[in-house]
Amino acid sequence: MLQNMRNASQHWLGKIVLTIVFTFLIAGVAIFGVEEFFRGGSSTAVATVGKTQISAEQVRSAYQNQLQRYQQQLRRNLTPDQARSLGLDRQVLSQLVSEASLDQKARDLGLAVSDAAVLRAIHDEKSFQNAEGRFESTLFYQALQRAGLNEALFVREQRSVIARLQIAEAVAGEIAVPQALRAAVHRYATERRAADYLILPPSAAGDVPAPTEDELKAYYEANRGTFRAPETRAVALLVLDPATVAKPDAVSEDEVRKVYEREKSRFGDPERRTIQQIVFPDEEAAKAARTRIESGEAPFETVAGERGVDPKELSLGTLAKSEIFDPAVAGAAFALEQGKVSEPVKGRFGTVLLRVTAITPGTMKPLAEVAPEIRKAIALERARTEVDTIHEAIEDLRAGAKPLADIAKEKGLPLVTVEAIDAQGRDPSGTKAAGIPDADTTLPAVFRSEVGSDNEALRTKAGGYVWFDVTKVEPAHDKPLDAVRDAAGSAWRTAEVNKRLIAKSRSFAERLDKGEPLDSIAQEAGVNAHHAEALARNQPKDELTADVVNRIFATAVGKAGSAPSGEGRAVFLVKSASVPAYVPGAQSDKTVETQFRTALVDDVLGEYIADVQKNAGVSVNQAALRRAIGGEY
């Protein structure tokens, strides 16, 4: 954590937020309980640590920044419900509370950062320095403007961050990783084991007869939760989708033709040319080189070599005209005949000679082929405007308590009715229900609602709306035995097979511990005996899963054991264990030391901040938090 703080402090924007650092401090909240942490408060601030307040604007800004980062990583937008399910609201608030905790501690200790120190830090920031390494005020103000900050806010935050970093350095700056810990990690990571083993398949359990009625009832009673039906709801959904409202047939041929002519590049591949280029210091040198090439005195490649151009870098590539950055070069290249050398061209990066070595003609789909696509796109664009008008009309009808079925009939819109669906979108048979628009948004809203509730319309990803009414709620309940008899019987048999395999594998392990050879036990079980070398923790090998390998490492050398292996069970005998010599100061030891120092610093700093919060007192105004972030909790 402290290293992250140091790294973040190397860039001016990192100095402001230090978001990466304080993400790790969320654990500090758990030390004295989430419920206590999020208790309500009467202050107008969103949260208060001691006498340090966190404003709504701070929360709003940090939340939006974090939301944008998540959306960029996920490459999709998040609804408010999805953002809350990821814990973004708590994460952001925890970050701000952690920062405020260090600010409060700085006040308690009487720490102050001088104007000279802040000024020095700003002048030392490379983002604000010119090519000569000197501070330039123009760069400083441009950077602040891009970040949406003013000078006073930046200086204040810079002063706070310097103080926070000083406290963090004092608390956890020089933590050493004990050699005993490093040696233990070395042993854990480098130990290798060898084992003999066999795999008992399910058939090794023998013939398992069908359960008696009493056995089946007993199993059902002991495992009722396995056969519990989830809560289901009946729901009616009125779907307003731009694609449904769109009327492609109403788009005229003239409109289609105009779009086709205006956007021809969408409906085909442009001409592409393989272009070679030689750069010269001036026009005179380029003319002289062209004369030599045209006269046959020196080939194009020879002139390029004389100019120090690597043959691999001679070609600009096979490009469309729009892909060439320099307009002058693009115009000249696409006016050339194949194999010809251009006149000197004054480009943005110097005077050049060009040669086109290959031309791939452009292709264009005929209007008749793409007309349906264009017509549909035009209709869809018009429909998006019409959707808002229809939305207002439906809202008026809903205000008059008109049923969704009647509105759907009046407006000619589809009404999706689902008799029973659970929160995962499955019907009672376990099949995924069809026809639920934007199910990841719609279903949570349906299961937050109740029968008779007046629900807000949901906005869809396609730009439409969904209105819904919950018409029935079927609570979660235990299914009767008769309804799940086949499933219960199958589950009983699986459990019985597993029970028999466990008993057999334990018996085999006991015999191995008494010195009986594995080969004879494998022959008795009708399976093959195997040997595995160089087994490493958490790593599967051959027929051994990672779980079986870890069980081998949990068993003493010379001892036998067993572990689940897929549908069967593995029986093993640990033959040997070896560990390379531990060398303090070796590269691997230094790597371990670096990794664990980071973890230790994180733990110490997290504990320190949690203690500061506990002593100073933390309160959160839930109403102010809702207003700052938006949405319901």
* Residues 446 and 236 sit within 8 Å (Cβ to Cβ): no
pLDDT at 562 over 90: yes
**Which of 12-21, 90-99, 459-468, 591-600 is least confident?**
12-21
pLDDT at 486 over 60: yes
pLDDT at 40 over 50: no
Residue 345 is predicted with a pLDDT of 92
User: Which helix (H) or strand (E) is 421 found in, with range?
Assistant: strand 415-421
Residue 334 is predicted with a pLDDT of 92
Query: Cα(168)–Cα(23) distance, rounded to whole angstroms?
Result: 15
Query: Cα(512)–Cα(531) distance, rounded to whole angstroms?
Result: 15
Q: List, in sequence order, every residue forming a beta bridge with 355; answer none if it has no partner.
A: 276, 341
Q: Which two tokens stand for residue 563?
A: 């572990």
User: Which helix (H) or strand (E) is 467 found in, with range?
Assistant: strand 465-474
DSSP 422-457: -TTSB-TTSPBPS--TTHHHHHHHHHH--TT--PPP
Higher-confidence residue of 461 and 502: namely: 502
* Residues 615 and 32 sit within 8 Å (Cβ to Cβ): no
Query: Cα(464)–Cα(462) distance, rounded to whole angstroms?
Result: 6
How much of the chain, in percent, has pLDDT values that exceed 70? Answer: 91
Tell me how crowded residue 387 is: count the other CB atoms within 10 A of its CB.
21
Query: Cα(333)–Cα(356) distance, rounded to whole angstroms?
Result: 7
Residue type, 280: F
pLDDT at 420 over 60: yes
Higher-confidence residue of 409 and 9: namely: 409
* Residues 425 and 436 sit within 8 Å (Cβ to Cβ): yes
Confidence of residue 35 (pLDDT cuts 50, 70, 90): very low
Query: Cα(457)–Cα(205) distance, rounded to whole angstroms?
Result: 57
Query: In angstroms, what is the C-alpha Rg of the chain?
Result: 36
HSE-up of residue 187 (Cα within 13 Å, Cβ side)? 7
Residue 25 is predicted with a pLDDT of 38
Higher-confidence residue of 349 and 608: namely: 608
Q: Which two tokens stand for residue 44?
A: 């107008």
The alpha carbon dihedral of 301, 307, 308, 314 has a sign of: negative
User: Which helix (H) or strand (E) is 193 found in, with range?
Assistant: strand 192-200
pLDDT at 335 over 50: yes
* Residues 358 and 275 sit within 8 Å (Cβ to Cβ): no
Residue 44 is predicted with a pLDDT of 67
* Residues 508 and 562 sit within 8 Å (Cβ to Cβ): yes
The alpha carbon dihedral of 250, 255, 257, 259 has a sign of: negative
Q: List, in sequence order, every residue forming a beta bridge with 630; answer none if it has no partner.
A: none
Model confidence, pTM: 0.52
The alpha carbon dihedral of 103, 105, 108, 113 has a sign of: negative
Tell me how crowded residue 417 is: count the other CB atoms within 10 A of its CB.
14
Residue 631 is predicted with a pLDDT of 53
Confidence of residue 21 (pLDDT cuts 50, 70, 90): very low
Pairing of strands 465-474, 458-459: antiparallel
Q: Coil, strand, or helix at residue 189?
A: helix
Averaged pLDDT for residues 340-348: 88
Q: Which two tokens stand for residue 362?
A: 């452009």
Which of 46-60, 225-239, 594-608 is most confident?
A: 225-239
**Which of 153-167, 269-283, 402-416, 548-562 is least confident?**
153-167
Q: List, in sequence order, every residue forming a beta bridge with 466; answer none if it has no partner.
A: 239, 458
At 127-161, the pLDDT tens digits run 888 878 888 777 787 777 676 667 777 888 888 88
Residue 121 is predicted with a pLDDT of 85
Residue 149 is predicted with a pLDDT of 66
Confidence of residue 332 (pLDDT cuts 50, 70, 90): very high
Query: Cα(626)–Cα(84) distance, rounded to whole angstroms?
Result: 11
At 167-183, the pLDDT tens digits run 888 888 778 889 999 99
Q: At what angle do helices 56-74 and 622-629 cross, to 10 degrees?
A: 50
**Which of 199-203, 410-414, 629-633 is least confident?**
629-633
Closest CA to 24 of 572, 606, 615: 606
Higher-confidence residue of 18 and 294: namely: 294
Query: Cα(633)–Cα(626) distance, rounded to whole angstroms?
Result: 8
DSSP state of 209: P
Query: Cα(562)–Cα(502) distance, rounded to whole angstroms?
Result: 8
At 298-328, the pLDDT tens digits run 889 888 888 877 777 788 888 888 888 788 8
Q: pLDDT averaged over the chain?
A: 84
Query: Cα(344)–Cα(281) distance, rounded to whole angstroms?
Result: 11
Q: Which two tokens stand for residue 577?
A: 């264990």
Query: Cα(468)–Cα(454) distance, rounded to whole angstroms?
Result: 9
**Which of 10-19, 171-180, 514-523 is least confident?**
10-19
pLDDT at 625 over 50: yes
Tokens 């001892």 map to which residue? Answer: 559
Query: Cα(478)–Cα(230) distance, rounded to whole angstroms?
Result: 9
Residue 391 is predicted with a pLDDT of 87
Higher-confidence residue of 379 and 512: namely: 512
Tokens 């398949």 map to which residue? Answer: 201
Burial of 625 (0-12, 13-18, 19+ CB in 10 A): buried
Beta strands in 256-373 (DSSP E): 268-269, 272-280, 315-320, 345-347, 350-360, 363-364
Q: What is the dihedral of CA 8, 10, 12, 18, to 10 degrees?
A: 10
The 3-state DSSP composition of the chain as helix, strand, coil percent (nearest 5) reads: 55, 20, 30
* Residues 347 and 283 sit within 8 Å (Cβ to Cβ): no
Pairing of strands 363-364, 350-360: unpaired
Query: Cα(106)–Cα(619) distance, rounded to whole angstroms?
Result: 19
